[in-house]
Amino acid sequence: MIESLHHLPPAGGAHGALSERFSDLAPALTARQAAIESDRCLYCYDAPCTRACPTGIDVASFIRNIHDGNVDGAAVTILKQNIFGGACARVCPTEILCEDACVRNDDAEGQPVKIGLLQRHAIDNAHFAGHPFQRAPSTGRTIAVVGAGPAGLSCAHRLAMLGHDVVVFEAREKAGGLNEYGIAKYKLPGDFAQREVEFLLSIGGIDVQYGSVLGVNLHLQDLHARYDAVFLGLGLGASRRLGLTGEDAPGFAAAIDYIATLRQAGDLAALPVPRRAIVIGAGNTAVDMAVQIGRLGADEVTLVYRRGYEAMSATGHEIEIAQTNGVRIRTWAAPHEVLLDDAGRVRGMRFERTQLTDGRLAGTGEYLDIAADGVFKAIGQHMDEAALLDPLARELERAGDKIHVDAQFRTKLPGVYAGGDCVAPGQDLTVQAVQHGKLAAHAIHNDILSKAEA
């Protein structure tokens, strides 16, 4: 996927030494730290943290369970709302969700309870004899789920719980979606994502078929005909284009492709690493890219964004991670031209300085060249349109470049539901995708039952 970088030298050194740079970004709490931190929770009534959680985890309750030494109970409290509670504890931007809502921000301490770390403590230290959730008696129905990412698997797990059988169709070789392929390695180190998928599937009744690519060897109209319902958790697989000449030149790559390769790399030392890297974009993927390429050994890493800090979609916490990892951030500069050397390889980027004129972003006519032998774009993704080209799929109503769904995650097509990053509601967050999948499962269940009764 990153053939365009193969002319670059490998990271070099030893895989083991490099791996150490990708160990846990935030160390886990010790049992003692968890006891002290859980004691800080005020056990709010109608707690704002729970209201801020897209999956509605009863935060006060799980923290009280930790506090009372009932870690297994705490874990179940989390998992019953969010089966990806372990990944979310690591990747959720808690600083804009539960921890931002924590009332402790407003009292004399001025510090939120470390909800994310406590959630991780509960999930990591729980010991279940078997899968903690029971399946309801079989309904005899089978649901197709497309995409084994957080939305699809969350939907599959909840459907299995409700008594349905599920077949999950996954395009890649592994399940997990962005948790496996798209999140920075130091946020989900080791094989955490795979272990979490194994745990989720241990409820039973879920069959995952790998290498099933919608629009290639799998078509919506067939699924619709063969299954009692279909859930589309397609994600956003394709990177947006800058629309510049040279965007496909050697030295130019999409950040998500590089991160996926990095996450699957058996030997980090063999990864191509530019000496000077530019990352274009200002979201969490841009930060993940910039920090990781720096940790792999790039001498200079510059993150360039066409607007100012306040408009960045990366959270303040993420930007701080970039800065403490030596990433230089240039704002108010828009990509203008890919600079190539005589061999046609990337040698840098020319940016046009920008400013807001009457509230609109505009170029100033001033230019800025930044030398680089590797440029990574992280300017967002969109759906892979090839997935939805069969006659039935073409009938899906769209919301911009996403799939339109109602509040129950029903598409316009009866029996077809969708959730996660491929639909419009909410933010493109793992935790949001999990909630979509869960709610869609309940909608599917209710719709099937009410149809059966009618």
User: Binding residues for other proteins, per CB under 8 A?
Assistant: 35-36, 38-39, 42-48, 51, 67, 103-104, 106-108
Bridge partners (DSSP) of residue 323 are none
Query: Shortest Cβ distance from residue 258 to other proteins (Å)?
Result: 38
**Quick one: the chain helix, strand, coil %, rounded to 5?**
40, 20, 40
Q: Which amino acid is at 454?
A: A
Residue closer to other proteins by CB (options 27, 45) is 45
Residue closer to other proteins by CB (options 60, 273) is 60
Contact 262, 297 (CB under 8 A): no
Token pair listed for 204: 């039973």
Helix (H), strand (E) at residue 375: strand 374-377
Residue closer to other proteins by CB (options 49, 273) is 49
Contact 272, 262 (CB under 8 A): no
- Helix (H, G, I), strand (E, B), or coil: what is residue 289? helix
Query: Shortest Cβ distance from residue 176 to other proteins (Å)?
Result: 32
Q: Which amino acid is at 141?
A: R
Query: Shortest Cβ distance from residue 60 to other proteins (Å)?
Result: 10
Residue closer to other proteins by CB (options 44, 265) is 44
106 — phi, psi (to 5°)?
-100, -10
Query: Shortest Cβ distance from residue 52 to other proteins (Å)?
Result: 8
Token pair listed for 93: 């931007």
Task: For residues 179 and 260, give the distance between their C-alpha atoms in angstroms, rounded to a whole number.
Answer: 10
Q: What is the DSSP letter of 174?
A: S
Residue closer to other proteins by CB (options 43, 309) is 43
Residue closer to other proteins by CB (options 10, 48) is 48
Query: Shortest Cβ distance from residue 259 to other proteins (Å)?
Result: 34
Query: Shortest Cβ distance from residue 72 to other proteins (Å)?
Result: 16
Strands 165-170, 206-210: pairing kind: parallel
**Side-chain-side CA neighbours of residue 171 (13 Å):** 21
Query: Shortest Cβ distance from residue 58 to other proteins (Å)?
Result: 14
Place of tokens 């859930």: 231
Residue closer to other proteins by CB (options 105, 142) is 105
Residue closer to other proteins by CB (options 106, 198) is 106
Task: For residues 391 and 388, give the distance between their C-alpha atoms in angstroms, rounded to a whole number.
Answer: 8
Query: Shortest Cβ distance from residue 400 to other proteins (Å)?
Result: 26
